[in-house]
Chains A and B, each alone.
Chain A
Amino acid sequence: MKAVQISFRQMLVFLKNDMMLAIACVAPVFIGSIFCFGIPRLEGVVTEYFKMKSILKPYYQVFDVFLASITPVFYCFVAAMVILEERDDHITDALYASPLGKGGYLVSRLGIPGLLSFVITEGLLLAFSLIHVSFLTRTFMAMNGVLQGVIFSLMVVTISSNKLEGMAVTKLTSLMMLGVAMPWFLPEKVQYVFWFLPSYWMGKAVWCQENLLVIPAVLLAGVWGYCLVKRGRC
């Protein structure tokens, strides 16, 4: 446990040197503020421009689910970039051979940031939600966001073998987040094409207002996580 703590602290120092730590504190609040205060104003602008009654308002829930996804993904993305750097510098192999081990390394790089982002996401949803949701739904949204963030990072570090591939995979995996919006934009029969994405089930849970739909999201996230760790380039 001490090794995990030291390893996490080491990552914080690395991020502090990059100024990324300060940004990590400010950015989610900034994004939340933009969503909360900017979207309703943007709605005013675009409805006037396109001469329509409402354009974005029916999709306010989508923004909330996006906020719940983006915050943990942001933290896990930062951690994934650190892992890529460490792998390119051959530090990872040395850490695996230390008392930290592979499990401890993953906990310090993805587990702890994931847990922290859960708490932050919960707070941000409480402060910046466009639509009022219950505590339970909010918790499920934050939990799903965290699972997605961890899968996202695992994909980046397992599929790619260096920084450049990492950036390319990041761009591609970020599309996985779009699953949350499918229930709003696609007909029911077509949207099931995205059944394999945990984000789709989270979106569906909010769209149907049915918390039980979080179960397939969590199960799928578990399967994704298991496969990615087993594939094991990280």
Chain B
Amino acid sequence: MRMEKLIAGDVKFQRKYGFYFLYAILTIIYITAILAIPQSWRGKIVTLLIFSDPPAMGMFFMGAIVLLEKSQRVLCTLAVSPITPQEYIASKMISVSLISLLVAVSIALAAGKDHLFILGMGTVLTSMIFTLLGMIVAVKIESLNQFILWTVPFEIIGFGPAVLYLFGVDFPVFQYYPANICINMVAGRLPGGLKIVILCIFIAILFGLAQKSVLRMWNRLGGAKL
């Protein structure tokens, strides 16, 4: 019940600050652009587009979300409530994944992509990874510029190898790189059991790190230095 309310609150928050409106416009623009490109290029470009934008929104917006929650004292309220850091993080992950999934499926449907279930799963898992990374960075920063700066290395690590992998640059262990497993799923390819295990372990590690960071942030909230 608490979790449902948290998610509903986050969805409301995201709707109020224009996330749904923004991504509705972006989806229309993306679909228009996709329909304009030649059919032979479409597959890879749609995969790249879905992988690089909707799931990455957690990374892009998390800094602003956390900073705004800090300045509105939302976090102070949450810190003294029965809500746990796990629930706080999970709620963010689920609410952001929801928009990512809606956008990704809309684009995939318009582009005539197959294997929508695997694509959807890939989008959700990628979104979770980027949201967790965004959260880990966001709790440490003091300003938006700082956040944007700190996310750059994560974006390079996240997108660089995956894009290379998509275009056929492959090394022996490259296929087990979490971002590459995700982009494979977004492309509609079902990964093997080992790859799913790797992905789950990776997400669990990130979740643990995010949980530690949020707990540390909550413990620091409030009070004054005299």
Contacts and interface: CB of A to CB of B under 8 A. Distances in A.
B64 A167 contact: yes
B29 interface: yes
Chain B interface, >50% SS class: helix
A172 B22 contact: yes
Interface in B157-183: 167-168
Contacts of A162: 17, 68, 71
Most buried by A among B26, B41, B64: B64
Contacts, number: 68
Contacts of A20: 145-146, 149
A19 interface: yes
A88 B22 contact: no
Interface residues of A, number: 28
Contact of A85 (B17, B22, B143): B143
Given A164-B68, A171-B26, A18 B61 contact: no
Interface in A154-204: 162-169, 171-172, 175, 185
Interface string B17-34: 111001001100100000
B17 A164 contact: yes
Interface stretch (A56-64, A76-84, A224-232): A76-84
A223 B46 CA distance: 36
Contacts of B25: 172
A163 B141 CA distance: 14
Given A49-B167, A49-B168, A171-B26, A165 B17 contact: yes
A205 B140 CA distance: 45
Interface in B64-89: 64-65, 67-68, 71
B148 interface: yes
Interface of B: 17-19, 22, 25-26, 29, 36, 41, 60-61, 63-65, 67-68, 71, 142-146, 148-149, 167-168
Given A88-B68, A163-B144, 10 more contacts: A14-B143, A15-B145, A18-B145, A18-B146, A45-B167, A163-B68, A165-B17, A166-B64, A169-B18, A172-B25
